[in-house]
Chains A and B, each alone.
Chain A
Amino acid sequence: MWFNKLNINIAKTHLFAKKKQTIVASLGVTFGIAMFVLMISVMTGVNKILEETQLASTPHVRIYRDISNDRPSLLSQILGTEDWAVVHHQKPKDEPLNLRNGLLIARSLEADPRVLGVSPQLTSQVFFNYGPAQLSGILTGVDIEKEDLLYNVKGKVKSGSIEALLSSNDGILMGQGLANKMNVKSGDKVTVTTPRGDIVLLRVVGTFAMGIGQIDNVRCYANISTVQKVMQKDTRYITDIHVKLKELNQSLTAATEWQSRYGYRAEDWETANATILVSFTIRNMMTGVVVVTLLVVAGFGIYNIMNMTVYDKMKDIAILKATGFEGRDIIGVFISQAAFIGMMGAFAGMLIGLFLSYLVSRAPFDGGEFLSIDHFPVNFDVRFYVFGLVFGVLTTILAGYFPAKKASKIDPVSILRG
């Protein structure tokens, strides 16, 4: 009844008779929605890239042996009492930092249904000798295929390949930043000094860039066996197990569980990255505030425009009512108009938003040392566009409904009398 053919035809005639006014009204919607789409795309794009690069190189759970001091002092052992013998500054025992049965633990973790991937590894501080200078670095022994499953190493390789690493027994995959500093390329040999003072010669088979300076400037990947050999350890010696879960938010419960089961420290990513987490929360909050503000402003703009559109037609409303149109016909006429303006405006806004987002995404942006990006990060999420469209159309219809409802109740005489 509201939207019979006659009412829609009247709405259509109104819209097309004053094309300029219709376009101006639609533009009001368009700009609101375009700005919304652009802002949310850019803001979430930035948030996402920061989150991704920071999380990409962080294990969800890391299992390692913590250095601990909680052992009875030699003195109290001999005296058989702890009451009065106090030993200050007790040093930790000289024991290897490896995980006993580490490979077995890794295998049992792989069977856990929550787990996406497990990468047992051992790390060692090393010095790279570069002429007279010594650069400190970290040599990480991994099963590169498992590591790839966790951190997508393959996608971060800049030269060489991870296969080349697998097939060599003295190869290393060097962080791009470190390689640049040392001016080495794939195929070059580097001299490495271990913490024990041994000197070994390793071959660079490739370089990688995680996009995070902290990693790219220090880390080198090698096969587990290579690092074990460098450190002169046996073939079961590993120091860390990195675990990636299917669901990020399960990390705390999983970590607690594994810590008590295996007896080693299991650290979840939230504990390890508390500061990053806080910055995520604040950024997401800011995004929310900005988006809500934008929508409120856009909403009021749309409301004003529709209000004007309806009040502009007061005389026509009176005539229609005088010639037998009911209140709901009037509402039908203006809701049809509002729906058209809303759809046209919101759709155009979506397209303009997409176009502007595209432009921004092509704008050169130097992420510097910290982020390896060369353009502005923009998040092209379909949901934003759908939301923008729905919001634009619904707001416009509501903004048309209220003044139309008011107008539909008015006595036509009060207008016709002039």
Chain B
Amino acid sequence: MEKVLEAKKLNKFFNDPAPFQVLKDITFDVNKGEFLSIVGKSGCGKSTLLYLLSTMDTEYDGELYMAGTKLTGQSQNDLARFRSKHLGFVFQFHFLLPEFTVLQNVMIPALKLGERSKEEIEVKAIEKLKLLGMDEYAMKRSSKLSGGQQQRVAIARALINDPTIIMGDEPTGNLDKKNSELVFRIFKDLAEEFKQTIITVTHDPDFAEKSDRVIEMSDGQIIKGL
């Protein structure tokens, strides 16, 4: 199996309010097309780990490789370019740009990447929205949507550049049973059909159980699923 992500001895400290080690020697690999869930109690460091993997938090010790590239030590701008091409995110609290329409929100990462024409991107964005049942809201201001609807738009946005890895921090946290199923189905298909890798942090035991692999964390260490 092809490794798409490698974490080697990741350590992370918080200094505020008191020195505290959040992550202790985290080492693990993720294969291409794998659907991975990270679970654990609140404060066990699973969100922190995800943010390290997302390349947005650069203050850590250890080494991180993704899609064959060493990301540790790269500049903010290089990391931004890498994210644009290879990573898609779904955050815990949806985080759409409130002033833009749903369609614009989905299109912006692709426009930034600039690999396709605007027309192609638009078609693709509509397609992704359709996938999540949000295409009828395409022209609405994203701030006018409900939390669950925003969450689904955020997932569509994460998919727009066909990223190698999709990361989700509680991607179904705001969704009802039906929509959770839907999102899970989509992630599953992406992993199986398009060999995209999914890494999610979740509290939802059903969601975790159905994924390919579960990593359980406690006190900054992986205790199960290596």
Binding site for B on A (CB under 8 A): 6, 10, 13-14, 17-18, 315-316, 318-329, 409, 411-413, 416-418
Q: Is the pair A328, B77 in contact by a Cβ cutoff of 8 Å? A: yes
Q: Is the pair A325, B80 in contact by a Cβ cutoff of 8 Å? A: yes
Chain B residues with CB under 8 A of A329: 112
Q: Is the pair A18, B56 in contact by a Cβ cutoff of 8 Å? A: no
Cα A17 to Cα B83 in complex, Å, equals 27
Q: Is the pair B93, A323 in contact by a Cβ cutoff of 8 Å? A: no
Chain A residues with CB under 8 A of B85: 324
**What is the minimal beta-carbon distance from A152 to any residue of chain B, in angstroms?**
61
**What is the minimal beta-carbon distance from B44 to any residue of chain A, in angstroms?**
15
Q: Is the pair B108, A6 in contact by a Cβ cutoff of 8 Å? A: yes
Q: Is the pair B81, A413 in contact by a Cβ cutoff of 8 Å? A: no
Q: Is the pair B76, A319 in contact by a Cβ cutoff of 8 Å? A: no
**What is the minimal beta-carbon distance from B73 to any residue of chain A, in angstroms?**
15
List 28 contacting pairs A-B, 8 Å CB cutoff, sorted by A.
A10-B108, A13-B99, A17-B98, A18-B99, A316-B97, A318-B95, A321-B80, A322-B56, A322-B83, A322-B89, A322-B91, A322-B95, A323-B157, A324-B80, A324-B85, A324-B109, A324-B113, A325-B80, A325-B84, A325-B112, A326-B80, A327-B80, A329-B112, A409-B76, A411-B59, A413-B54, A413-B57, A416-B51
Cα A315 to Cα B93 in complex, Å, equals 11
Q: Is the pair A6, B97 in contact by a Cβ cutoff of 8 Å? A: no
**What is the minimal beta-carbon distance from A260 to any residue of chain B, in angstroms?**
73
Residue of A nearest to B167 (CB): A322
Q: Is the pair B56, A412 in contact by a Cβ cutoff of 8 Å? A: yes
**What is the minimal beta-carbon distance from A404 to any residue of chain B, in angstroms?**
14
Contact flags (1/0) for B76-106 with A, using CB distance below 8 Å? 1100110111000101010111111000100
Binding site for A on B (CB under 8 A): 47, 51, 54, 56-59, 76-77, 80-81, 83-85, 89, 91, 93, 95-100, 104, 108-109, 111-113, 157, 161
Cα A320 to Cα B47 in complex, Å, equals 20
Q: Is the pair B99, A14 in contact by a Cβ cutoff of 8 Å? A: yes
Q: Is the pair B83, A324 in contact by a Cβ cutoff of 8 Å? A: yes
Chain A residues with CB under 8 A of B161: 324
**What is the minimal beta-carbon distance from A320 to any residue of chain B, in angstroms?**
8
Q: CB < 8 Å: which of A14, A18, A315, A328 contacts B95?
A: A315
Cα A221 to Cα B111 in complex, Å, equals 81
User: Which 5 interchain pairs have the tightest Cβ spacing?
Assistant: A324-B84, A17-B99, A323-B109, A413-B57, A326-B77
Q: Is the pair B83, A323 in contact by a Cβ cutoff of 8 Å? A: yes
**A14, A325, A327, A328, most chain B CB atoms within 10 A:** A325
Q: Is the pair A324, B100 in contact by a Cβ cutoff of 8 Å? A: no
Q: Is the pair B109, A327 in contact by a Cβ cutoff of 8 Å? A: no
Chain B residues with CB under 8 A of A409: 76
Chain A residues with CB under 8 A of B77: 326-328
Chain B residues with CB under 8 A of A418: 93
Q: CB < 8 Å: which of B51, B59, B96, B104 contacts A417?
A: B51
Q: Is the pair A324, B81 in contact by a Cβ cutoff of 8 Å? A: yes
Chain A residues with CB under 8 A of B47: 417
Residue of A nearest to B112 (CB): A324
Chain B residues with CB under 8 A of A318: 95
**What is the minimal beta-carbon distance from B167 to any residue of chain A, in angstroms?**
10
Chain B residues with CB under 8 A of A416: 51, 56, 91, 95
**B93, B97, B98, B109, most chain A CB atoms within 10 A:** B97
Cα A320 to Cα B111 in complex, Å, equals 12
**What is the minimal beta-carbon distance from B155 to any residue of chain A, in angstroms?**
13
Q: Is the pair A323, B84 in contact by a Cβ cutoff of 8 Å? A: yes
**What is the minimal beta-carbon distance from A201 to any residue of chain B, in angstroms?**
88
Cα A13 to Cα B108 in complex, Å, equals 12
Residue of A nearest to B47 (CB): A417
Cα A324 to Cα B82 in complex, Å, equals 7
Residue of A nearest to B157 (CB): A323
Q: Is the pair B51, A6 in contact by a Cβ cutoff of 8 Å? A: no
Q: Is the pair A326, B108 in contact by a Cβ cutoff of 8 Å? A: no
Chain A residues with CB under 8 A of B96: 319
**What is the minimal beta-carbon distance from B226 to any residue of chain A, in angstroms?**
25
Chain A residues with CB under 8 A of B111: 6
Contacts A17-B100, A318-B95, A322-B83 supplied; 9 other A-B pairs, CB < 8 Å: A319-B97, A322-B54, A322-B89, A322-B95, A324-B83, A327-B76, A327-B77, A411-B56, A411-B59
Chain A residues with CB under 8 A of B108: 6, 10, 320, 323
Chain A residues with CB under 8 A of B56: 321-322, 411-413, 416
Cα A355 to Cα B223 in complex, Å, equals 74
- State whether A411 and B97 are in contact (beta carbons under 8 Å apart), knowing that A321-B80, A417-B51 are contacts in the complex: no
Cα A9 to Cα B83 in complex, Å, equals 21
Cα A325 to Cα B93 in complex, Å, equals 20
